[in-house]
Amino acid sequence: MDSGEEVRVETPPYCCSTCDGGEVARRNLARRNRKARSLSTSSASSSSDHRRAQSLHGPSPVTTFGPKACMLQNPHTVMHIQDPASQRLTWNKPPKSVLVIKKIRDASLLQPFKELCIFLTEVKDMIVYVENKVLDDPAISGDENFGAITKKFCTFSEDLDDISNRVDFIICLGGDGTLLYASSLFQESVPPVMAFHLGSLGFLTPFKFDSYQSQVTQIIEGNAALVLRSRLKVKVLKENWEKKARVDEKGIILTNGDIESSRKAIQYQVLNEVVVDRGPSSYLSNVDLFLDGHLITTVQADGVIVSTPTGSTAYAVAAGASMIHPNVPAIMITPICPHSLSFRPIVVPAGVELKIMLSREARNTAWVSFDGRKRQEICHGDSITITTSCFPVPSICFRDPVNDWFESLAQCLHWNVRKKQNYLSSEDEEF
């Protein structure tokens, strides 16, 4: 095509009963070619009037292979996933409540925080939720002029109050850490998140605060693109060993105590990464890594990072991993300073289940953290199970998922920034 745009033709799924797909495959191919030519003609004539929404999904794969082979059709395994390019925010009912998350102990955010809250309460008539520790700041609690606004706030405390069904959307003021913190507050469905870049890095915060009123109004009206940032569902199973003394009916201790074990399970939703490391020990960590129940390797390194595509641009990229767009369904496994030079980072499908346990030969325990928080020790018998969560973080885009991501790569990580090479003149070519 002269327009330089690619036309993707969806192939209808082919179901065969006798695996006689040769002639059918040829007819389907001829039909697709005719359809592609007609689409090419129509798109070339209308490309100047209408911009085509390009799909972020790859083309549907052909399910017939050669003259006799085809894919076994199983209707129970079919997944219907919306094209990421068409994911846009909409409201079933007009939003009435908003959670404002502010970076703690940052004086530079006091004025933007006050301006935003006044705008939301007085102009937009929204119910504003704010964490108690934000209002404990003397610069806020001691401001008499702002006191009338704070009385209208709904307050909560982390780990004590459940606000999952009370908040319609979230506004973050700060750096990437505010978005990670917002994710940790919601262990199931997460409201849409609008993140303003008022921190140091701002890879996950695409909005500038200069025009916050028009941007917030646009979100309330439901006019915005979304990127669904997948999270990891992590289950930590800890083996608790207790010594319990045996006592008779009269209360007399019969034995010093038998060792009994009990299991304690804790679950987390992780947006960036799960990090298992050697902690304060001078020895390398020695952990077994299982994939869908099969031992795939033993990690002998300073640690291992299991990250989402969103987390691929955080700790993982510093450890040598590739950067993955958040719309790619995948889990990354990245060793930290491995003892083996051939242990390179790998990417596995998002649907697998990973399990990490201390090896029998481990000389020390390991330590685990989740998005840099909830750090705890992992001992023999403990296990960490990691799968892709079905509750992503719907992050509101400034423009769209692709442009926002590459803008962050360029502005925050200075991706592929270098001096440009000078061109050769005719005189230089002689030498």
What CA–CA distance (Å, rounded) separates 396 from 227? 6
Secondary structure of 185-250 in HEC code, one letter for each residue: CCCCCCCCEEEEECCCCCCCCCECHHHHHHHHHHHHCCCCEEEEECCEEEEEEEEEEEEECCECCC
Q: What kind and span of H or E run contains 146?
A: helix 144-150
The sign of the CA dihedral 121, 124, 125, 128 is: negative
Q: Say whether 357 sits in a helix, a strand or coil.
A: strand
- Evaluate whether 201 touches 175 at the Cβ level (below 8 Å): yes
Cβ neighbours of residue 256 closer than 8 Å, sequence gap 6 or more = 243, 245
Torsion of CA 206, 209, 213, 215, to 10 degrees: -10
Q: Tell how far CA 9 is from the center of its chain.
A: 30
DSSP, res 289: E
Q: Which of 181, 107, 175, 179 is nearest to 143 (CA)?
A: 107
Burial degree of 102 (CB within 10 A; 0-12, 13-18, 19+): buried
Burial degree of 74 (CB within 10 A; 0-12, 13-18, 19+): exposed
For strands 383-388 and 366-370, give the pairing: unpaired
Tokens for 423, please give them. Answer: 């061109």
Tokens for 158, please give them. Answer: 């982390």
Would you please indicate which residues are annotated as catalytic (active-site) residues?
176
